[in-house]
Amino acid sequence: MSLQPVRGMRDLLGEELDRQKHIVKTAEEIATLYNYESIETPIVEYTSVFKRTLGETSDIVGKEMYTFSDRNNESMTLRPEGTASVIRAIISEKLTQTLPQKRIYSGPMFRYERPQKGRYRQFYQLGVEYLGQDSPFADVECIALADHILKTLGIVDYKINLNTLGDMESRQSYKGALIKYFSKYENDLSEDSQSRLHRNPLRILDSKDENDQKISANTPKFEAYLSSESKAFFETVLNGLNILKIDFELNPHLVRGLDYYCHTAFEFKTTSLGAQDALGGGGRYDGLMQQMGGPSIPGVGWAVGLDRLALLLPEFQTKPSLRIAVIPIGDELELEAIRLTQELRLKGFTSEIFLKGNLGKRFRQADKALCNIAVVFGSDELAQKKVKVRKLQSVEIETNKETFVDSSQLISHLSSLI
Ligand code: HAM
């Protein structure tokens, strides 16, 4: 039997992992400029945290959650997204007393989807949640933060799609109009859309089914059902984005796959990843905290898919750094080599020790381990209190092929090579 990871789940290593880490580091640095603090929530929550909040008719709750009973017969779920967990944590930790809360998080999420490129069952998100601010400028700031991060990462192929889902009353009356409209075509709708017709007809608007899309083309427009407050809210968001010179496209069919949104909804769409065109998405969720049993505190946020961003990340330049191979010639020098390697590491140099095989073999091992400088010494060098510093394969380090350096000057010599 060959040991494989679970379908739709994979080991992250090498460049893919480096890319994800680089994205998280960059995003966290930028989020600090906007006063965000980190939060980490457990990967497992009581199922109720997600079940009602994400929407009974959503794909996530309907068919994608990893839900199981624990040994105590409690229903548990591996988190499919971060927002509900963060709100749960804000309530549990009584952070509702200290508003606003601006939180950034990242980590694995789980959805039982059909795996393909850019879509996994264990995938990684980075997200932010901004709680306790009902001004539309919070929405603007949130979108600006995501745009700032994507641009800094050098990701260029994306468009911000924007829509308003209005307030509850506007949405209710629009839903009524949609049910009336779609009911005329009920038998022609896809199975998914038929099941959503009465419970969440808005989702029919973003159906991927071609026939559903044809039927949706002539639906009544939401604008006619938006309250004047909702319209004014959205106008302010648009004005804010314009003043910050953030490009966006209005997309009246953008409704998002989770039920908790109101007012602003947005997605970062790319044309570079085929069917998985959403790099990230988010919006405002003013009713969510109260729905989860907390006080009525408004919120807005987004999450991006790290797996998808990593696929689009342009080559990123890491600073050329020294990787030092320590190579003693002669068994009796091994202890000195271990001492020197540790000294180098304590001084902040990435170092590896090569003890086995003839000299040629050890140089080859050092090359393979991507070392670019070797510190070599035998008993003669040691007697003279010197070491040989030899350039390995690296192209980035400007130095002679081989130099003798006083042992006491080694650290400063190596520092001068960076
Ligand atoms: P979401 O749109 O469900 O929103 O997910 C956000 C992003 O996660 C997607 O745009 C996509 O890039 C990535 N993603 C989702 N599913 C997968 C998958 N199976 N494989 C790979 N990547 C995936 C949320 O999760 C909301 N919590 C966002 C939010 C935060 N809204 C307010 N605050």
- State whether the beta carbon of 113 lies less than 6 angstroms from ligand 1: yes
Pocket flag, ligand 1, residue 123 (CB < 6 Å): yes
Q: Whose CA is nearest to atom 10 of ligand 1?
A: 280
Rounded CA-CA distance 24/36 in Å is 13
Ligand 1 contact via 308 beta carbon (within 6 Å): yes
* Rounded Cα distance, 216 and 210, in Å: 10
pLDDT tens track, the chain, 418 positions: 689 999 999 999 998 999 999 999 999 999 999 999 999 999 999 999 999 889 877 888 888 999 999 999 999 999 999 999 999 999 999 999 999 999 999 999 999 999 999 999 999 999 999 999 999 999 999 999 999 999 999 999 999 999 999 999 999 999 999 999 999 999 999 998 998 898 889 999 988 899 999 999 999 999 999 999 999 999 999 999 999 999 999 999 899 988 899 999 999 999 999 988 999 999 999 999 999 999 999 999 999 999 999 999 987 665 567 899 999 999 999 999 999 999 999 998 999 999 999 999 999 999 999 899 999 999 999 999 999 999 987 545 556 688 999 999 999 999 998 7
299 C-beta closer than 6 A to ligand 1? no
Structure tokens at 367: 């090359």
Q: Which helix (H) or strand (E) holds 49?
A: helix 48-54
Q: How many A from CA of 82 to the centre of ligand 1?
A: 9
Dihedral of the alpha carbons of 205, 206, 207, 213, in degrees to the nearest 10: 60
Other C-beta atoms closer than 10 Å to the C-beta of 206 total 17
Q: Which domains does the chain have, with CATH numbers?
A: 14-167+227-312 (3.30.930.10), 323-417 (3.40.50.800)
